[in-house]
Structure 1
Amino acid sequence: MKNLKLKIYTVFAALLFAGCADFLEEENLGNTTAENYYGTQKGYESLVNAAYASIRDIYEPTPYVFCAGTDLFFSAHQEVPLGLASYQTLTPSNGQVEHLFKNLYESIQINNLALDYADKTEDFPELETRIAELKFIRAYLYFLLVQNFGDVSMVVDLVSEPITHFEREPASEVYQFIIDEMEEAITVLPTTQPEFGRVNKRVAQHMLAKVYLTRGYESFGLQTDFSTAAQLADAAIGGQGLNLDFEDLFVYENDNNEEVLWSIQYSDGSTKQGGAHNWDYPWGPLIQGSNDGVNKKNALHPTEYLFTLFEDNDTRFEGTFLNILTSPYVGYILDPENSPVNYYYPRTAAQLADTANWRAASPMRANTIISPIDPHWWDGLNQEDYPSLRKFDRVRTVEVQYTHDLYLARLGETYLIAAEAYLQAGNSSNAVARINTVRQRAGASLVSSVDLDFILEERARELVGEGFRWLDLKRTGKLMEYTKVRNPDIKSLFNSGIDPFLGANGNYKILRPIPLSAIALDSGDYPQNPAYQ
């Protein structure tokens, strides 16, 4: 594959590196040159750390670009970008799309800088592993790019001077580059790493399985992609069961649990500390008290489909949604025995029948308002009276400053990748077995058969709020089909005779638009995606 120059957003490597300084140990280098510093193990390790840290910039904002406009959440506040929520007004000037595009390329440049110094730094025992980590991370960034934007510009060399024109490479070539890089990384990476959060062989197998699975749906996908994805997912599983209770995956200060394969590090026990994200903010309900320890707004409101998707015995509902509201909000985390419960949200017949015993179990429940499931839960005008999505709740008090890690790959999803890949490869029995492993941990009933719709339902139950849903629906071709009946914003447009996905010249808005600022800065003819031309 020919080497190409970086997208228009590439800036000088020194500036990009400075943008990650907060994530690294500060050190006065004096008159030490970059060549001298990065030529040492300590200096080179700082470059690798910068590559990891740069991923935070991609995921830091409120996750509208990852979670809006699906069948699981609809817009309940004007701050949600309308184009992402319902597509009709999605244009190349969308700020969140621009942020995603820009920061993916800036992170790629940091990886290129580190890879450029790989043959200039001193030899040390971990060097080959670090190179493999960098190649994997860069390939992962391109995977995000190609899924969101289709054909994209690629670079495998460090850019050290301004470039004014770029070409877009076909998505088929981008996928092949990703696969080649990840396969090379797998041959080098160790099965485990001494530091939690570093990429290892299982992480690369998990993500490469997802790459093959995704390519399998494309017109240029190979017949063997699904079977290859299944084999890689099983290799990443490595015989490990889902041993934790679902709720324990996300509880306070348990970010480094055994089922997390790869995460963006924030917690005190992580190797890359510092910083924060905004992934606990948009799910509501409205919580903005000075003593509550969080800041939440009813922005992305759960749909009726999501709230009613779980069986009675499925523990993933209570592991995902907070079925109580304490005063203060973070009381359920920091002091549950002494925090009054303002609301209780029963959802099953058994829970409703047992409310008297539930209330009597604690004096903190004496004045609790019982608010059982009904249409007010999914009413977008309801600001305060519905269960909060709890997975990535942060804590901001005088005593505690805690930001939950964001999981990019965890074992539960690995099983679901395997299930989908086996189904599409024609091995339904293995697909059922992988699905039932996930459902058994959740306490849900086991199944004897699955189809793609059921697997996507299972992904919704297991992974809601984790940033995968838009990519799942786009991958499987279900985005328009599901949202037009499950997302009230999009459904109302269709019911009024408007197809919000329909763009220019009869093309549909399945890909994101190339940011207008990128096209405007290009000195040549940089093509826009067809629906936005």
Structure 2
Amino acid sequence: MKKILNRYMLISLIFLGLACDNQLEIDPLYTQDAESFFNTQEDYERALVGAYDLLQTSYLTQWIGEIASDNAIAGGESVNDTRGLHEIESMTHGGVNEELRSVLRYNYAGITRTNYIFENRDKTDFEGKETILAEAHFLRAYYYFELVKFFGDVPLIIDRRIGIEEATSIDRDPAADVYAQIESDLQSAFEVLEWTNPQKGRVTKGAALALLGKAYLYQDKFTEAATVLDRVINEGPYSLQTFSTSEDYADLFSVAEEGNSESVFEIQYSGLEGGSYDCLVCLEGNAAVGFNGIRQYDGPVYNDGNSYNLPTQSLYDSYDANDIRRNGTVLDLDAFIAEQPNSQDISYAVGGGGHTGYYNNKYIKRDAELGLPDNDLTSPVNYRVIRLADVYLMAAEAHNRKAGANDATALNYLNQVRTRVNMPEVSVSGQALTQAIWNERRLELSGEGYRFWDLVRTGRAANQIDGFEEGKNELFPLPQVEIDLSGGTWKQNPNYN
């Protein structure tokens, strides 16, 4: 979705310092304001595009969800290069962390934009407005889901914007209330949305149901999760593909395979517009791809990048050698170079921020998928937010862990994910099946930004993540500057200074 909204109208970003500058530059100036907007269907469509726009900050979820876990290290040029990611890797992060502050600010900016639509929902009537509102419901739920999984209790602002005075005094709402709003928004969304949408990138009924199932799963509402995830599997237009090689599996994440039969929801990116390191939130390209790239690489297939988010030996070793997802997920660079006929001519550099020898092969810069210069910032590769394999594994877990467990269905779902990549079926039940499902989630979804929260929500983080402290690191700390801006109304999350 293109950033057309900011060029034509002023959206209030006043919420705990959300605006990038004291004043928002508008081009052309003063042509429209809030009072003269929402008079046509086009106005609502443009406002919705603006609400979609903050999805493009997904690089933070991809980075943090991997780097905070046992799947990856921060990497980069040095430990002072994006220091916040290195602190998250070592579990020494605190209230002064630019990446965590960006997570809070960007998601509240998205919420503000959806609330602006709902604030004006009754101003103009036209055919199709229900669909616009349904998409806005999904987007608000998505942004709140990001916030609640990072920070727990957060202020819950619904259907309105707030002024600076209220922003400095509003309190946090319990995570349970935030989840209740997420559920309500997603129910409003899936009741209206169709299973397919002719416009690429728009949310659908399947996306809303799948995200609702994930929200239920994160709350241990297993019966509810099983019900809605079954609908995605049984009623949706999706199907699992079959893969025979690691290259086939890696292609699942390529530009050529965008919108494939396993894709439930993708964040759209374009390589046709430039950007700068000064404003990653301004980008139209997927910043994660270039940042994950191989530093000063000179060779075939891949292209040079910034060597961030480097997979660990632990992740590589977790795969069976016969699992094609291992090489599809984790690039063993030295092994790849050794296989090339001109291996002696291929070179790369090691960053001072750490080196494992491995790279994220799902989201990595390739010669065939370069955007405009600077192509570290303009990757056209979409972020697969929800894939059908994820839905199968969430549904398997929900059926296995719900009251009156249905292990037969859970095992069927698990084995369908395995057999599509030529891995043998498993035959277990009860807690052994639970463990098998959790293990499969790592094998299937690593590199995509989910690992940390899977470990936290299942109570395994302290055993898997070095430096993780129970009673503390399940949540990330609130940015100290936001606590200060709240006038001290907000209290820091437990056990953070």
1:113-512 equivalence runs, <5 A? 113-121=116-124, 123-162=125-164, 163=166, 164-216=168-220, 225-238=221-234, 240-245=238-243, 246-267=249-270, 275-283=284-292, 285-288=294-297, 294-322=303-331, 342-344=337-339, 365-368=340-343, 382=355, 386-394=357-365, 395-396=369-370, 402-425=379-402, 426-449=405-428, 450-483=432-465, 490=466, 500-502=467-469, 507-512=471-476
Q: Is the 8 A contact 2:371 2:380 kept in 1?
A: no
CA distance in 1, matches of 2:253, 2:267: 14
Q: How many percent identity over aligned positions?
A: 29
Q: Is the 8 A contact 1:255 1:267 kept in 2?
A: no
Other structure's SS at 2:158 match: coil
CA distance in 2, matches of 1:49, 1:510: 33
CA distance in 2, matches of 1:124, 1:29: 28
Partner deviation per Cα, 1:504-529 (whole Å, 9 max, x = no partner): xxx42221111100011122432111
Instruction: Give the corresponding residue for 2:51.
Output: 51
* 1:68 corresponds to 2:77: no
Residue range with higher mean Cα deviation, 71-80 or 201-210: 71-80
Other structure's SS at 2:185 match: helix
Q: Is the 8 A contact 2:263 2:386 kept in 1?
A: yes
Instruction: Give the corresponding residue for 2:480.
Output: 516
Q: 1:284 to 1:185 in 2, by over 3 A?
A: closer
Q: Give the residue type in structure 2 aligned to 1:433.
A: N
TM value normalised by structure 1: 0.75
Aligned residue pairs total 446
5+ residue gaps, structure 1: 22-26, 217-224, 327-340, 345-364, 372-376, 484-489, 491-499
CA distance in 1, matches of 2:474, 2:333: 37
Q: Is the 8 A contact 1:286 1:296 kept in 2?
A: yes
Other structure's SS at 2:444 match: helix
Partner deviation per Cα, 1:379-426 (whole Å, 9 max, x = no partner): x9657xx45322123443779964201111111111111011111112
Q: Give the residue type in structure 2 aligned to 1:320.
A: T
Other structure's SS at 2:288 match: coil
CA distance in 2, matches of 1:158, 1:37: 16
Other structure's SS at 2:264 match: strand
Partner deviation per Cα, 1:277-317 (whole Å, 9 max, x = no partner): 32124545433559997443444332222112222332212
Other structure's SS at 2:219 match: helix
1:443 Cα deviation (Å)? 1.0
CA distance in 1, matches of 2:372, 2:176: 51
Q: Give the residue type in structure 1 aligned to 2:226.
A: A
Q: 1:188 to 1:101 in 2, by over 3 A?
A: same
Q: 1:290 to 1:117 in 2, by over 3 A?
A: farther
5+ residue gaps, structure 2: 1-12, 244-248, 273-281
Instruction: Give the corresponding residue for 2:492.
Output: 528
CA distance in 1, matches of 2:296, 2:255: 19
CA distance in 1, matches of 2:370, 2:447: 21
Q: Is the 8 A contact 1:6 1:166 kept in 2?
A: no
Q: 1:42 to 1:15 in 2, by over 3 A?
A: farther
Q: Is the 8 A contact 1:392 1:405 kept in 2?
A: no
Residue range with higher mean Cα deviation, 395-404 or 71-80: 395-404
1:69 Cα deviation (Å)? 2.3
Residue range with higher mean Cα deviation, 153-162 or 126-135: 153-162
Q: 1:119 to 1:524 in 2, by over 3 A?
A: same
Partner deviation per Cα, 1:121-140 (whole Å, 9 max, x = no partner): 3x222210110110111012
Q: 1:268 to 1:253 in 2, by over 3 A?
A: farther
Q: 1:508 to 1:410 in 2, by over 3 A?
A: same
CA distance in 1, matches of 2:263, 2:28: 35
CA distance in 1, matches of 2:482, 2:31: 36
Other structure's SS at 2:289 match: coil
Other structure's SS at 1:92 match: coil
1:244 Cα deviation (Å)? 5.0
Q: 1:298 to 1:393 in 2, by over 3 A?
A: closer
Instruction: Give the corresponding residue for 1:8.
Output: 16
Other structure's SS at 2:257 match: coil
Q: 1:268 to 1:366 in 2, by over 3 A?
A: closer
1:161 Cα deviation (Å)? 2.4
Partner deviation per Cα, 1:80-125 (whole Å, 9 max, x = no partner): 53320021x211011111110111111110111122222113x222
Q: 1:143 to 1:435 in 2, by over 3 A?
A: same
Q: Give the residue type in structure 2 aligned to 1:478.
A: R
CA distance in 2, matches of 1:6, 1:183: 28
| RMSD of equivalent CA atoms | 3.4
1:432 Cα deviation (Å)? 0.9
CA distance in 1, matches of 2:308, 2:208: 34
Q: 1:512 to 1:453 in 2, by over 3 A?
A: same
* 1:38 corresponds to 2:27: no
Other structure's SS at 2:490 match: coil
Other structure's SS at 2:384 match: strand
Instruction: Give the corresponding residue for 1:102.
Output: 105
Q: 1:468 to 1:15 in 2, by over 3 A?
A: farther
Q: Is the 8 A contact 1:416 1:435 kept in 2?
A: yes
TM value normalised by structure 2: 0.81
CA distance in 1, matches of 2:50, 2:330: 34
Instruction: Give the corresponding residue for 1:219.
Output: none
1:154 Cα deviation (Å)? 0.6
Q: 1:290 to 1:247 in 2, by over 3 A?
A: closer
Q: 1:201 to 1:366 in 2, by over 3 A?
A: closer
